[in-house]
C-alpha cells in the first residue's frame, strides 16, 4: 500500500473545501486547485468559517486551527499536483468537464498516483476511460459536510486494481472516515435509496395526501432522522435532489421518475414552504409512513438483488452518512417480513414493477464482522461504526463464528482483532439492556452475557497468539474484549475505560477479573469505581496495554507479530499509591466516611456512581473467582432501579443513585 503524505483536491467549492479541511486536519499537506482566485478565496473563507466555529466550540485551539490552515496550499496550477500521492476530483457534476480534467491530470501526475472522483452520478468505469493508467482510478463518494461526516463510499471500477482499492480503504480509515464498498452502480448505496425517499415525500405532497410539515414530522419519527425530507432539500438544495432523481430515472426506469412538483420547485429555484405542524391525523400519518417505508425497502431490496452492497453497508450508509437512528434494516425487522412484503408488493403493483427477490428476511441480516487471512494470520474486523461497534447478540454471534473459524484453522498461527470506525468497541448496546429491563425479560440479558463470557473464554484460552489492535474507544465490553488477548496494541488516539458503575451496572464480561492479571486488584477497583478514562499513554504506563503505534506502523506490526510481547510495567509512584489505597479501602467507606486529603476529586467522582454496583465490584474483585463469577449477580443488578435510571441517562445528566 502506498504511503500518502500529500493530497490534491481539484475544486474549491463546498465539497472540495470540506475535503481540503478534513485532510489538512489529519496532518496531510493539501493542494486545493481551482481555475480562479475568487473560487480559491471563497473555499478558504468557508474553511476558516468552519474552523472558527470549531474553536468557539473548543474542538480546536487557535493554534491547532492555524496549523490546519498552514497545511493547505491553494493554486491554479495543476502541475502542483505532481507532489501528491492521491488526487481527488470534486468539481461540478458534468461528465464532459470531468473527462477532460482526468485526461489532463493523468499526463501531469505520477503513474502510481491514485486518482479518484467524487462523482455521485456517473459510472466510475466510464470515467476511467479518460484516465491514463486506469487501474489507479476509483470512486470516493463523500457526504456533506465532508469535514464532519465520516461516511465515504469506495467504488471500484472494472479496471481498478487491488492495490489502489486497498490503499484508499486504508487511507480513508487513517483519516477518520468510515468507508463502505459497493459496485459501480448509479446512485451507489446511499443516494440510491435516499433520493427516492425524498422524491416519494414530494409525491405524497403532490397527491394531496399530506403537507410538507406533516411528512417531515412523520419521517423524522419513523427513521429517527434530524430533519425530514423537505427540510433536508431546503438545506442541500432542491435542484440537487431533482438532478439526482433524474439520473436514477435514466438508468432504472419509471418508478424513479422525478415528481412533477419536484421539477417545478427546481425550476422556480425556491425552497419548500414548511409551516409549523401540530396534530397529524393518524390515518394520514399511516399513509406517510407506509409510503416512505415501502419506497425505502423496495429500493434496498433492489440493491441486495443486484449485489451492489451488503445489508450491513446499507446500515452503515444510513446510520453514519444520513444519521438515521432507525436505518432501513432496522425498519424491516421492526415491521417483520410479512408487513414489509405487503408494503413492497403494494408499491410494485402500483408501478407495475417486479418485487425484489431479496424482500425475504434472510437477506436483511447486517454483516457486523468481517474476517480475512493474511499469510499465517487471521484478521477479524468489527464493522458496526454506525453503532460505535457496540456489542449486541448479533455482533457476539458473528464474532464467535469468525473467531471459531480462524481458531480451528490449523494453518494459522495468529489472530488479530481490530475494528473500523472511531471506536474499537464502545461497550454493549445500551438499548438492548433498556428494552429487556422494560419488557421484564432480564434473562435475555443474562443469556447475552453468558454467550459473551463463553466467547471471551475461548479467545482467552486459544492456543494461537491473539493480538488486539485498539483503533479508538475501548469502553466497557470493548476493554473486556481487549483483555482476552495475549498482546494489546493501541493506536495513539485510543482511550480505555470501564464506565459501567456510572450507569448503574458493573462489568460482566471479565472486567472485574482479567485486569487483575495486568494491573492488580487496587488499580482494577480504581478504574471500575471511578470510570476514569485512560489515554493510550496512561494505559501503557500502568501495564493495561502493551504497545502504542501510529497508523504508519500498523501494516508492519501486523506482518511481524512474533516481535510483539506482553509488556511488564513498573508502576510509577503515583500509581502505586492509588493501587495501595484502593486495595486497602472498603467500598462502603467512600460513601460514609470523611474524604482523606488529596482524594477529594477521586472520591467525589465515586460518590456519583451507583453504590450497589460499586459494592458488587468490590466483592467480585476481592473473591477473584474468575470471569464466570460475574454472572452470579447479573440479574440482581439489572433489576435495580439504579440500573434502569443509569442506562437511560446515557448522553444526559447522570441520575442521583438511590442504592436500590
- Give CA–CA dist 85/6, Å, rounded: 6
Q: Where does 245-395 show beta strands of DSSP type E?
A: 369-374, 377-382
Q: What is the pLDDT of residues 177-201, one digit of tens each?
A: 999 999 999 999 999 999 999 999 9
Instruction: Tell me the C-alpha distance between 309 and 185, whole Å.
Output: 10
Q: What is the pLDDT of residue 594?
A: 83
* Per-residue pLDDT tens digits for 471-525: 999 999 999 999 999 999 999 999 999 999 999 999 999 999 999 999 999 999 9
Q: What percent of the chain stands above pLDDT 70?
A: 100
Q: How many CA atoms lie within 13 A of 219 on its CB side?
A: 30
Going across the sheet that includes 534-535, the strands are 423-426, 473-475, 495-497, 534-535
Q: Report CA torsion sign: 297, 298, 299, 305.
A: positive
- State the pLDDT confidence band at 570, using cuts at 50, 70 and 90: confident
The residues assigned a catalytic role are 120, 141, 153, 191
Q: Is the pLDDT of residue 77 over 80?
A: yes
- pTM metric for this prediction: 0.92
Which pLDDT band, with edges at 50, 70 and 90, does 323 fall under? very high
Each residue of 383-410: pLDDT tens digit?
999 999 999 999 999 999 999 999 999 9
Strand partners, 374: 377
pLDDT at 346 over 90: yes
Query: What residues pair up with 491 in beta bridges, in sequence order?
Result: 549
User: Order of strands, edge to edge, in the sheet holding 377-382?
Assistant: 369-374, 377-382, 414-419, 465-470, 487-491, 547-549
Distance, in Å, from the CA atom of 259 to the CA atom of 37, rounded to the nearest integer, reads 39
Residue 569 in this model has a pLDDT that exceeds 80: no
In this predicted model, what pLDDT tens digit does every residue of 80-99 receive, in sequence order?
A: 999 999 999 999 889 999 99
Q: What is the mean pLDDT of residues 536-553?
A: 95
Torsion of CA 653, 654, 657, 660, to 10 degrees: 100
Mean pLDDT for the stretch of residues 579-598: 89
Q: Tell me the mean pLDDT in the region 413-437.
A: 97
Average pLDDT value for the chain: 96
Which residues contact residue 592 at a Cβ distance below 8 angstroms, ignoring those fewer than 6 apart? none
**105-124 confidence digits (pLDDT tens):** 999 999 999 999 999 889 99
Under 8 Å between Cβ of 38 and 186: no
Domains of the chain: 6-182 (3.40.50.720), 190-363 (1.10.1040.50), 369-648 (3.90.226.10)
At residue 598 the predicted structure's pLDDT band, cuts being 50, 70 and 90, is confident
DSSP letters along 540-606, please?
A: HHHTSSSEEE-HHHHHHHHHTGGG--PPPP---HHHHHHHHHHHSS-HHHHHHSPPPTT-HHHHHHH
Amino acid at each position: 500500500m502506498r504511503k500518502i503524505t500529500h493530497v490534491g483536491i481539484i475544486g474549491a467549492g463546498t465539497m472540495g473545501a470540506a475535503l481540503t479541511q478534513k485532510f489538512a486536519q489529519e496532518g496531510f499537506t493539501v493542494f486545493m486547485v481551482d481555475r480562479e482566485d475568487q473560487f480559491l478565496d471563497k473555499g478558504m473563507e468557508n474553511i476558516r468559517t468552519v474552523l472558527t466555529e470549531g474553536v468557539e466550540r473548543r474542538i480546536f485551539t487557535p493554534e491547532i486551527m492555524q496549523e490546519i490552515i498552514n497545511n493547505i496550499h491553494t493554486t491554479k496550477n495543476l502541475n502542483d499536483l505532481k507532489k501528491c500521492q492521491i488526487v481527488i476530483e470534486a468539481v461540478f457534476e458534468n461528465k464532459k468537464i470531468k473527462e477532460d480534467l482526468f485526461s489532463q491530470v493523468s499526463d501531469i501526475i505520477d503513474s502510481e498516483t491514485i486518482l479518484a472522483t467524487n462523482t455521485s452520478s456517473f459510472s466510475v468505469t466510464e470515467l476511467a476511460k479518460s484516465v491514463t493508467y486506469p487501474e489507479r482510478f476509483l470512486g470516493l463518494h463523500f457526504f456533506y459536510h465532508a469535514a464532519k461526516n465520516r461516511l465515504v463510499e469506495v467504488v471500484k471500477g472494472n479496471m481498478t486494481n487491488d492495490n489502489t482499492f486497498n490503499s484508499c480503504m486504508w487511507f480513508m480509515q487513517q483519516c477518520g472516515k468510515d468507508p463502505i464498498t459497493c459496485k459501480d452502480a448509479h446512485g451507489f448505496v446511499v443516494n440510491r435509496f435516499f433520493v427516492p425517499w425524498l422524491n416519494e415525500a414530494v409525491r405524497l405532497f403532490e397527491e394531496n395526501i399530506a403537507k410538507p410539515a406533516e411528512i417531515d414530522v412523520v419521517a423524522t419519527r419513523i427513521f429517527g432522522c434530524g430533519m425530514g425530507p423537505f427540510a433536508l432539500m431546503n438545506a442541500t438544495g432542491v435542484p440537487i435532489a431533482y438532478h439526482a432523481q433524474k439520473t436514477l430515472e435514466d438508468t432504472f426506469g419509471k418508478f424513479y421518475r422525478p415528481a412533477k412538483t419536484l421539477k417545478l420547485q427546481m425550476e422556480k429555484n425556491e425552497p419548500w414552504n414548511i409551516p409549523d405542524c401540530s396534530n397529524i391525523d393518524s390515518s394520514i400519518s399511516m399513509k406517510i409512513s407506509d409510503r416512505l417505508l415501502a419506497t425505502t425497502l423496495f429500493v434496498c431490496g433492489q440493491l441486495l438483488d443486484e449485489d451492489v452492497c451488503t445489508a450491513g453497508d446499507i446500515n452503515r450508509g444510513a446510520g453514519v452518512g444520513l444519521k438515521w437512528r432507525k436505518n432501513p434494516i432496522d425498519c424491516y425487522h421492526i415491521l417483520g417480513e410479512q408487513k414489509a412484503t405487503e408494503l413492497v408488493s403494494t408499491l410494485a403493483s402500483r408501478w407495475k414493477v417486479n418485487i425484489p427477490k431479496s424482500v425475504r428476511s434472510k437477506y436483511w441480516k447486517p454483516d457486523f464482522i468481517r474476517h480475512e487471512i493474511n499469510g499465517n494470520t487471521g484478521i477479524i474486523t468489527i464493522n458496526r461504526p454506525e453503532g460505535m461497534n457496540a456489542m449486541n447478540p448479533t455482533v457476539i454471534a458473528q464474532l464467535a463464528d469468525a473467531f471459531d473459524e480462524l481458531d480451528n484453522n490449523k494453518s494459522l498461527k495468529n489472530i488479530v482483532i481490530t475494528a473500523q470506525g472511531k471506536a474499537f468497541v464502545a461497550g454493549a448496546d445500551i438499548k438492548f439492556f433498556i428494552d429487556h429491563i422494560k419488557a421484564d425479560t432480564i434473562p435475555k440479558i443474562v443469556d447475552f452475557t453468558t454467550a459473551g463470557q463463553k466467547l471471551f473464554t475461548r479467545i482467552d484460552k486459544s492456543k494461537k497468539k491473539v493480538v488486539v489492535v485498539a483503533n479508538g474507544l475501548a469502553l466497557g465490553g470493548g476493554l473486556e474484549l481487549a483483555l482476552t488477548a495475549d498482546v494489546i496494541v493501541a493506536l495513539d488516539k485510543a482511550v480505555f475505560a470501564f464506565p459501567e458503575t456510572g450507569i448503574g451496572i458493573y462489568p460482566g464480561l471479565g472486567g472485574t477479573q482479567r485486569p487483575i492479571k495486568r494491573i492488580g486488584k487496587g488499580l482494577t477497583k480504581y478504574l471500575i469505581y471511578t470510570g476514569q478514562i485512560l489515554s493510550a499513554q496512561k494505559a501503557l504506563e500502568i501495564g493495561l496495554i502493551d504497545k502504542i503505534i501510529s497508523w504508519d506502523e500498523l501494516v508492519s506490526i501486523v506482518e511481524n507479530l512474533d516481535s510483539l510481547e506482553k509488556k511488564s510495567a513498573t508502576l510509577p509512584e503515583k500509581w502505586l499509591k492509588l493501587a495501595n489505597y484502593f486495595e486497602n479501602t472498603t467500598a462502603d467507606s467512600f460513601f460514609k466516611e470523611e474524604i482523606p486529603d488529596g482524594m477529594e476529586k477521586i472520591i467525589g467522582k465515586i460518590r456519583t456512581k451507583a453504590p450497589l454496583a460499586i459494592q458488587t465490584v468490590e466483592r467480585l474483585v476481592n473473591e477473584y473467582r474468575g470471569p464466570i463469577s460475574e454472572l452470579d449477580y447479573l440479574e440482581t443488578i439489572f433489576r435495580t432501579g439504579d440500573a434502569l435510571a443509569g442506562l437511560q441517562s446515557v448522553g444526559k445528566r447522570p441520575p442521583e443513585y438511590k442504592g436500590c
